Amino acid sequence: MKKEMSKTYDPKEVEDKTYASWQQKGYFKPEVNPDGKPFTIVMPPPNITGQLHMGHAFDGTLQDVLTRYKRMDGYAALWLPGTDHASIATEVKVVDKLREKEGKTKQEIGREAYLERAWDWALTYKTRITDQLKKLGASCDWSRERFTMDEGCSQAVNEAFVNLYDKGLIYKGSRIINWCTTCKTALSEAEVEYAEHQGNLWHIRYPLTDGDGYLVVATTRPETMLGDSGVAVHPEDERYQHLIGKNVMLPLLDKEIIIVADDYVDMSFGTGVVKMTPAHDPNDYEVGLRHNLEQIRVLNDDGTMNELAGKYAGMDRYDCRKAVVKDLEALGLLEKIEDHQHNVGECYRCSTTVETMTSEQWFVKMEPLAGPALDAVRQHKTDFIPDRFSKIYYNWLENIRDWCISRQLWWGHRIPAYYCNDCGEMVVAKTAPDHCPKCGSTHLTQDEDVLDTWFSSGLWPFSTLGWPENSEDLKKFYPTSVLVTGYDIIFFWVARMIFMGLFEMGETPFKDVYIHGLVRDSQGRKMSKSLGNGIDPLELIETYSADALRFTIITGNSAGNDIRWQDEKVESSRNFLNKIWNAARFVLMNLDDDIMDKKETAIAHLENTDKWILSRMNTIVAEVNHNMTKYELGIAASKIYDFAWSEYCDWYIELVKPRLYGEEETTKVAAQYTLRVVLDTILRLLHPFTPFITEEINGYLPGTTGDIMVAQWPHFDDTLVFPEDEKQVEFLMEAIRSIRNIRAEMDVPNSKKTQLFLICDNPEHLTLMADSLHYFQKLASVSTILPITKADIQENYVSAVVEDLEIYINLDELVDKEKEIARLEAEKKKLQQEIDRVTQKLANKGFTDKAPEKVVEVEREKQKKFLETMEKVQERLDYFKK
């Protein structure tokens, strides 16, 4: 005999012990279904720089739902977890800690000692993130957990670097890059955040060298003019065609620079003349390459001006800006200054304004890699869900520039390039060479730079499975099945994984890319530390349970769309779970322990209500399966919710209570069996979404062996299709609803019974109603059901129509007229007082003119509501008085 369920569900008592049990039993490993088809998800690795936020909870829940669903459906399901070393983010944290705790810089303690501290940080936060994911219920295979800087992933990074280099796809050269003057490193586009800033647009006169006037250019960064090597106009601009090829004087440096013609120039913007600073602007850089303009870098790495800036050398960039503007003004070369709102790039870690400048770095040649990656999506080797996000992917790859992969940091994968200290030869190798292949010297030094974090992340779908070794996991689980990620890193990460997977493995790394949105606050704002609107998922788990958090995330989700977080929704999810718990407790209290041994008897005596709920269950199973395969997880969860709450709990359980308490054994067995089967199916369907409570309830079900986590996923059963029974029961339900509505309108208590009079030409419906009297007695407070004719209808009858059935109720049986009139008169008097009060308030101009509009609107809404209620009360009064 199974133990009895407690009156209330306590997630704190259940979640940790249940998770530990799953893990101890090895359920998270794909080997739990050794003969199953592989299904693989690699976790987008969270950075080791703090705790999980709502975005991680959202992303993790979606992946876990898919993994649990596939595992139950017999797949060898592998959700492979891991974390990312996050070069810049981690370095900022460790450097700050070093300064605060020890009062030292990383240079003062040296690279080796610094890396020891970085590894301590990494191991601490890796464990913290893992523990947080477990609290969420993540069914990852922790035995296969990876870290982007573990030994295997580091080996993969060196392998990929050398392979790309040997194919001529990695090179070292001077190109335009993003640079943080505080972190003193190159940045990728993913590490630059753009924000609107109020600035200025300075209009500067560049005198023509022939003395015939000047050209006016506008700039937001006057200090960079010191690095100008030309000005550009559009080749079809009639205003300037005669000047193409001539020179202007670069103010302040008294240097001649050329006027070039280029289609890049927008004739309609400003004066149609653009200053060219190839070393400090990516667009100018491209124009400069086309016209062989000199690249003059006037900024140092720390944001000060260098010797090429003339007398401004040594100045901070912003001090230089002020000095340049002042000098231009003194020379009469500053035509005007305008206010200008524009996007400014900032370092995503320290918020320093990013400089674009030429720098010698390592780059990946992108054009040969981008082509196959574009074809893979166009040919549907990889599909985006929703498909609209493929356009973002196409746009980025079609306009991609060579990728700067070197970072001037110490934490990360060090570039596998070695320099001979004697002859200067450079060697790129997977392992450190012991001598120079050119001169034989053993004095070799490794490149100081590390690789962009996205380089190792781009290898994630196969480096985590053992590549470059041809491991069993790699053979079985690559390519992976689906990548789940946010739309904000489609090009930063998704595109890189695709082109790296095609280059190294010869096939795309995943079949589907499921794109989800962001979790925003209730006002639709992005959650951030600066706004103070972030929500800690662990606090929500503590307050509501992991299941409630998960179910809220899923039911609010549709692929590609943001969701707004509202506490009311998670409270609603908790209420739903309590409803399931209470329903299960009631059902289990009314089940025989051996009910599953009576299956044949039960099936032989199923009634129409049993067949209705079984048929509806079967339909929901089919629909949910369809939704899950289409990644419509939110729709699937909502359908399960509606079926479980409304059809099973509110209708079926209530419909069968008389049979459970009756003396007829066969009909009781049929009801018990049906309750048990449907509850079991609901729990299985719910398990991927709410794993803890479903596992706990499953442990109480009679006839259950094993855990629900590894139970068989429900599928459509063509023996459970009962369309006629569905029609019959839905007809009865509509009749019951109609009677309830009449009683509610008349404010009749459930304790007051009434007769039901029927007119219907359909004998089947009349028979059905007569045979179902016990349902109407229980659910609609009906005493008897009697057929009548049109001639029997009296004035005091109220009616409802359900298909071909007319339902009549004697009003006198429901309501004492005199008492009802007295009650309505009292209600009318009270309403009139409220109407007078609010009308007087709204007639007061002192209130309507001075009070906030929202406050006035609230009073108007009250007035409208009171008037509508008064109209209904008056209608009822007129009816009874008549």
Binding-site residue positions for ATP: 529
Q: How many CB atoms lie within 10 A of CB 408?
A: 16
Buried b or exposed e, range 652-672, using 16+ CB within 10 angstroms: bbebbbbbbeeeeeebbbbbb
Q: Which helix (H) or strand (E) holds 756?
A: strand 754-759
DSSP letter string, 8-49? S--HHHHHHHHHHHHHHTTTTSGGGSTTSPEEEEE--PPBSS
DSSP string, 605-618: T--HHHHHHHHHHH
Please, what is the end-to-end C-alpha distance for the chain in angstroms? 63
SS3 helix, strand, coil % of the chain, rounded to 5?
Answer: 50, 20, 30
Euclidean distance between CA atoms 675 and 882, whole angstroms: 49
Q: And the tokens for 838?
A: 């609010």
Cα–Cα dist 532/519, whole Å:
14
Which residue ranges make up the annotated binding site?
529
Q: Exposed, middle or buried, 103 (CB in 10 Å: 0-12/13-18/19+)?
A: exposed
**Encoding tokens for residue 612?**
């209705």
Find the helix packing angle between 111-136 and 87-102, rounded to 10°.
110
**Structure-block tokens of residue 270:** 């400003």
List, as own/partner pairs, every contact residues 823-830 make where C-beta atoms lie below 8 angstroms and the sequence separation is at least 24, other chains included. Answer: 824/873, 824/876, 824/877, 824/880, 825/877, 827/873, 828/870, 828/873, 828/874, 828/877
What one-letter code names the amino acid at 130? Answer: T
Both tokens assigned to 642: 């509606």
Taking each continuous run of H as one helix and of E as one strand, the counts in the chain are: 30, 29
For residue 465, which of 420, 421, 509 has the smallest C-alpha distance? 509
Alpha helices, DSSP H, located in 590-607: 599-604
Which residue type sits at 366?
M
The C-alpha atoms of residue 413 and residue 425 are separated, in whole angstroms, by: 22
Number of residues written out for the chain = 882
Q: CA torsion sign, 12 to 13 to 18 to 21?
A: positive
Q: How many CB atoms lie within 10 A of CB 311?
A: 12
Of 413, 398, 502, the residue nearest 454 (C-alpha): 413
> Is 415:449 a contact under the CB 8 Å cutoff?
yes
Beta bridge partners of 785: 756
- CA 230: distance to chain centroid? 46
195 vs 344: CA distance, rounded Å = 5
CA distances from 73 to 7, 37, 38, 620, 704 (A): 32, 10, 11, 16, 18
The dihedral formed by the CA atoms of 589, 22, 133 and 513, expressed in degrees to the nearest 10? -100
Please give the full DSSP string across 785-804, using - where no structure is assigned: EEE--GGG--TTEEEEEETT
Residues 6+ positions from 467 with CB-CB distance below 8 Å: 156, 159, 459, 474, 478, 504, 505
